[in-house]
Amino acid sequence: MDSSLVILGSQWGDEGKGKIVDLLSPDYDYVVRYQGGSNAGHTVIVGSKKYALHLIPSGILHEGKKNLITNGVVIALEELVREMNKVKDVAKNFEGKLFISDRAHIVFPHHKILDGLAEKSKGKDKVGTTLKGIGPAYMSKYGRTGIRVADLMDPKYFRNRLESSMAEAKEIAEKIYGVSFNLNINKIYFQTLKLFEKIENLVCDTALMLDKGLKEGKKVLFEGAQGTMLDIDMGTYPYVTSSNSSALGLCNGTGVSPRLIGKAKIYGVSKAYVTRVGSGPFPTELKDSSGQKLRDEGHEYGTTTGRPRRCGWLDLVALRFASRINGMDGIILTKLDVLDHFEEIKVAVAYEYNGKEIKEFPASLKILEGCKPIYKTLKGWNVSTKGLKEKDKLPDEAWEFINLIEEETGTPVVMLSTGPERSEYIWIK
């Protein structure tokens, strides 16, 4: 393995990154989560046990790994502590295993209230957020009213910051949304300090730690959350998340120089079809029996919310865009086995808009909403690929599917996931 590797989503999230990071973690010294918050969910299956991780890197399930939550992440302390309790049967002692950036921002109860109010006010134009307070926490961060982990080390300073932040939230709730705001600042203040006591010994300068590690030749696995098409800058704005969920978020989310991260390989994880949670345009969405079959066969329900995911055929216009934006060295294709029982498999190779063919993913939502996918139809393989571990046992029709992806994106498919278990995968290249 290379000294550093980035694993990120190349669609609208939920691509199965958790399993891939869990699978590759044994080969790396550090596993790093660099953006997003508890609005992301990675499900990892170990034997008969399932772990749903939202903040803690998947490497926590392996002995001897240093797991970093860096400055680009926004942290709800109560959810972090709850998650630590869920994995303590594996991690046992977190000291020396979990490291939390002192520069990371904190999600507070008033952020969750503002999230709900903002979403409700949008009516039919709602984004479809998880209502975890992530967007408002990032708004506080960029509005310079946020509170960082380091601020909790000085209780008096923290109290002043909290008073200002909650006063701002109260004004927004009452004057913009016309809703009474009755949060108890004393309760939140003391609860936060109590939660901080549980993680204080894990807090450090993760940027410095990573800088030293990379210069010493340590192997680092960077774990992205959500997916490229939800990136705040490059995704289907405004139906996006509140952070750079593509490779663009690596440097600002870790505090590590581009010169160091530039040496990393980047693999984008893509399902063999596409899913999306929440609102926003989705050119290949299927609202028929085929879409329901994808949902049922793929168990497509959100890790964080439990919401049924919207499903559609693989979109190579979007995947080509993701490959370019991220500079992807390879594609890791997951849930190939979900397509096992389709007579025909469609793949979008272009869009049609106003009688013209479009090969590049448009920025305009108006254009995107008017795009109709131009499909290439492939013959299904109609045999089980679930659990396959040898590439020479893949049916010819599956290879045709893989070859089409490589031709259209200009990016090699390097690995296949053929089931949810750790052992169910095939390295192709």
Task: Read off the pLDDT band of 269 (50, 70, 90).
Answer: very high
So what's the pLDDT on residue 47? 65
Q: How many residues does the chain have?
A: 429
Q: What is the DSSP string of 19-46?
A: HHHHHHGGG-SEEEE-SB-TT--EEEEE
CA distances from residue 92 to 86, 89, 200 in whole angstroms, order as listed: 10, 6, 17
Mean pLDDT of 250-256: 96
Q: Which residues pair with 352 in a beta bridge?
A: 357, 372
Tens digit of each residue's pLDDT (9 = 90 or more) over 321-360: 999 999 999 999 999 999 999 999 999 999 999 999 999 9
Report, as residue numbers or ranges, the catalytic residues: 14, 42
Nearest to 371, CA basis, from 353, 356, 358, 388: 353
From first CA to last CA, the distance across the chain in angstroms is 12
CATH, range 270-427 = 3.90.170.10
Shared fold status for 4-101+206-266 and 105-198: no
Percent of the chain scored above 90 by pLDDT? 78
Tens digit of each residue's pLDDT (9 = 90 or more) over 131-144: 889 999 999 999 99
Nearest to 224, CA basis, from 66, 18, 23, 84: 18
The domain defined by 4-101+206-266 carries CATH number 3.40.440.10? yes
Q: How would you classify the pairing of strands 344-353 and 314-315?
A: parallel
The two three-digit tokens of residue 17, written as one number: 């990154």
Q: Lowest mean pLDDT: which of 33-42, 53-62, 103-112, 241-250?
A: 33-42
CA distances from residue 200 to 33, 99, 204, 389, 414 in whole angstroms, order as listed: 18, 10, 9, 43, 40
Regarding the domain delimited by 105-198, which CATH topology (the fold level of the hierarchy) does it fall under? Adenylosuccinate Synthetase, subunit A; domain 2 (1.10.300)
Task: Read off the pLDDT band of 58 (50, 70, 90).
Answer: confident
> Phi-psi category of 332—alpha, beta or left, where left has phi over 0 and alpha has psi -120 to 50?
beta
So what's the pLDDT on residue 2? 59
Tens digit of each residue's pLDDT (9 = 90 or more) over 277-303: 888 999 999 999 999 999 999 999 876
Q: Where are the domains of the chain?
A: 4-101+206-266, 105-198, 270-427
So what's the pLDDT on residue 367? 96
Q: Lowest mean pLDDT: which of 99-113, 347-361, 413-427?
A: 413-427
